[in-house]
Amino acid sequence: MHAAAAALALAFACAPAAAHGMLVHPGPLAAARSAPAVRSYALIDHEIDSLRSPLAGASLCRGAPRGAVTPITLANGSPFTVTMAFSIGAQHIGPCAVEILDANDRTGASAVTITSVAGPRGCAVAPIAAFETDKLSPAASQCPGRLPPKLVTNDMCMFEWTFTVTNADKIKCTDCVLRWTWAGEHISTTNPEKYENCADVRVTVVGGSQSSGSNAAGSTTPTRPRRGSATTKSKAAAPTRAVTKTRPSQATTTTAASRPASAACDACRKSSGAPRQMACTSDATGFYACFADQPSREPVRMACAAGTSCVQAGDYIHCQ
């Protein structure tokens, strides 16, 4: 092992237990493996804690310079996927969110929240980060194929977070920043550990109007989504039929019988009849978002990235 890498690994091994978390890519796992696009990702093999540790100051986006720009497409009510990474054995509770900011904004005033997880859980624990991890063995053996690229400490697993986009119609920029935030409340709810990473994105909003901000000149051509992205415009990703708003009176009343009858819903049921969060399609080229907490909602089909196949992992899936 390179001397600097060995020193970093030793420092981690001797450090007190702490949560670590970071955004890796504003897209699915396959893209994160090939070209992670979070700002300052090049620090991953020699200054990793500047990416994944609690914020030491209040600078927006950790004060990191702009990086590679990733084109993304957002639509209200459609799924979008980001890839995050968390330390093994230190996946802690606390709310998290994804926001879109104007690239010229230095204060965060333009932030539009496109998803958030509130309450006592968050995106670092199940059901989003679904691996059962521990500190007794390296990440490579706990989540093979899911270590962040060039990671030398062998102590983090990547996870996809697929969520339903909200507030896309409020986005005023085209040249934008996607910001991921997480507040670790495992020690204190009144003084949480705060985490943040940013990725530079070029945003196309579909299904609604998008104002052209002062920084949007020359960006009038819609960006074509990548094949395999959760934002790909297809019948599966953006169903045209109305979705019923009927909801169960209690989450605990969800049963297989209360879900619509379809092949997609059949795939979303475990042998016990209970719904999965996600389920592979029969041809393994994609997967269904099962909406386990919304028993009257038809599952939405999404594609795995080109060159990958869907593998079922309990209530979740891997595209690998």
Residue 172's identity, in one-letter code, is K
Assess whether pLDDT exceeds 50 at residue 259.
no
Tokens at residue 228, please? 């395999």
Q: How confident is the model at residue 11 (pLDDT cuts 50, 70, 90)?
A: very low
3-state SS track over the chain: CCHHHHHHHHHHHHCCCCCCEEEEECCCHHHHHHCCCECCHHHHHCCCHHHHCCCCCCCHHHHCCCCCEEEEEECCCCEEEEEEEEECCCCCCECEEEEEEECCCCCCCCCEEEEEECCCCECCCCCCCCCCCCCCCCHHHHCCCCCCCCCCCCCEEEEEEEEECCCHHHCCCCEEEEEEEEEECCCCCCCCEEEEEEEEEEEEECCCCCCCCCCCCCCCCCCCCCCCCCCCCCCCCCCCCCCCCCCCCCHHHCCHHHCCCCHHHHHCECCCCCECCEEECCCCCEEEECCCCCCCCCCEEEECCCCCCEEEECCEEEEC
Predicted confidence at residue 220, as pLDDT, reads 28
Query: How do residues 28-77 score in pLDDT, each as one tens digit?
Result: 999 999 999 999 999 999 999 999 999 987 789 999 999 999 999 999 99
Q: What's the whole-number mean pLDDT along residues 122-142?
A: 80
In the beta sheet, which residues pair with residue 233?
Answer: none
Predicted confidence at residue 240, as pLDDT, reads 39
Strand order in the sheet with 112-117: 69-74, 193-205, 175-184, 96-102, 112-117
Residue 293: Cβ within 10 Å count: 13
Query: How do residues 170-216 score in pLDDT, each as one tens digit?
Result: 999 999 999 999 998 877 778 888 999 999 999 999 985 443 333 32
